[in-house]
Copies of this chain bind each other. A is one copy, B any other.
Amino acid sequence: MTNGKRERSQRTRAAILQAARERFAADGFERTTIRAVAADAEIDPSMVMRYFGSKRGLFAAAADFDLALPDLSRVPSDELGAAVVDHFLTRWEGEPTDDSLRVLLASAATNAAAAAQMQEIFRAQLAPVVAAAGPHDPPTAATRAGLVATQMLGLALCRYVLRLSPVVDLDRDAVVHWLGPVIQRYLTEPSG
């Protein structure tokens, strides 16, 4: 066949990872079973162990993602809030859909390792961008990043996980209209 051994290996590895992302996002860490992931990927459960070592290893691989935040120092300072909200919506609802955030959100609530991973992502990815965007006031930068996290993760929680209908029904423009000024304030308002 045209399939080399290496190519075949990479393909099944990718299939496992995709199935794992969907399962973890839908069911969380505990309820996701290796057997179910393997069934979705149409391979044997033992293959998951071969490729990822353990369930934790599989989760770490599935939940490792990049917020891909843009450089906010190039955005006009009065459009920062709208830009951030718009970026997150694109990240979560664009094509191709990346379930990683939902994976973490659904698992971090009940799994210490997942919570730690979430902390690390926001510390390493969100905090520096916020620091670069806002007033040059290092002590408050971490606080500002934390506040942004409360609103954006709260949105993700209500919209994608809890599926509260008034929040699900908001269209993109409405979300930007309502949350944009909030994020703007968290980023730029003097700490008083």
Contact = CB atoms under 8 A, between A and B. Distances in A.
B106 A162 contact: no
A108 B164 CA distance: 12
A192 to B, nearest CB: 8
A158 B163 contact: no
A73 interface: no
A151 B149 contact: no
Contacts of A186: 178
Interface residues of A, number: 48
B161 A146 contact: no
A166 interface: yes
B164 A109 contact: no
Contacts of A105: 109
Interface string A126-151: 00000000000000001101110111
Interface of A: 27-31, 105-110, 115, 118-119, 122, 142-143, 145-147, 149-155, 157-159, 161-167, 169-170, 174, 177-179, 181-182, 185-186, 192
30 contacts: A28-B28, A28-B110, A29-B110, A31-B110, A105-B109, A108-B162, A109-B157, A109-B161, A110-B110, A115-B163, A119-B164, A122-B164, A142-B165, A142-B166, A143-B169, A143-B170, A143-B174, A146-B167, A147-B167, A147-B178, A149-B158, A150-B154, A150-B155, A150-B159, A153-B157, A153-B158, A154-B155, A154-B157, A157-B157, A177-B192
Given A109-B110, A154-B155, 18 more contacts: A29-B110, A105-B109, A107-B110, A108-B109, A108-B162, A109-B157, A115-B163, A119-B163, A119-B164, A143-B166, A145-B166, A146-B158, A146-B164, A147-B178, A149-B164, A149-B167, A150-B155, A182-B182
